[in-house]
Amino acid sequence: MSDFLKVLYRRALMSGDPALVQLTFDQAVLDRYRGDASYRVMRTNTAGRVAKAGGWSIDFGIGEGDALIHASWQALVERLPEAERDHWAGYASGPHFSHNFVRMQLSPGSCFDDGDLRSW
């Protein structure tokens, strides 16, 4: 993990501000907007923007190899129209999460067989 990302998450945790947290998406989320004259998708080497003419825009970072993009939770909640959110959620990506743990977070109180409890 980069030092900058550590600082970003440290600030998010210390301030209690989830707006600093970055959400990651497969860059294919942008395919919907490419080639549509009412949108513009622009980039530099490490940052980009998708913008609807006369409407909304989202700035995003571009990960190494151009496979993933990321944007702040705050920008996505404040600037991405509700009608676009399900589309973006369909391209959510990220580090190698524990799928069982995520399922546990989505269904608190449910029973999951996750192996024997042991010290680490």
Q: Residue 5: what pLDDT?
A: 76
* Opening angle at CA 6, ends 2 and 9, nearest 5: 135
Domain presence at residue 69: yes
Identify whether 23 is part of a domain.
yes
Q: What is the pLDDT of residue 94?
A: 74
pLDDT in tens, 51-69: 999 999 999 999 889 999 9
- On the question of pLDDT at 3 being above 90, the answer is no
Domain count, the chain: 1
Q: What is the span of the domain harbouring residue 15? A: 3-106
What mean pLDDT is predicted for residues 24-42?
Answer: 96
Residue 81 lies in a domain: yes
Contact 30, 42 (CB under 8 A): no
Contacts for 112-117: CB closer than 8 Å, 24+ residues apart: none
**What are the φ and ψ backbone dihedral angles of 33, each rounded to 5 degrees?**
-100, -25
Q: Is the pLDDT of residue 104 over 80?
A: no
User: Is 75 inside any structural domain?
Assistant: yes
Which residues have a Cβ under 8 Å from the Cβ of 26 and sit 6 or more positions away?
Answer: 67, 68, 69, 91, 93
Among 80-84, 85-89, 91-95, 103-107, where is mean pLDDT lowest? Answer: 103-107
For 1-120, list the strands marked E by DSSP.
22-26, 39-43, 47-52, 57-62, 68-72, 92-93
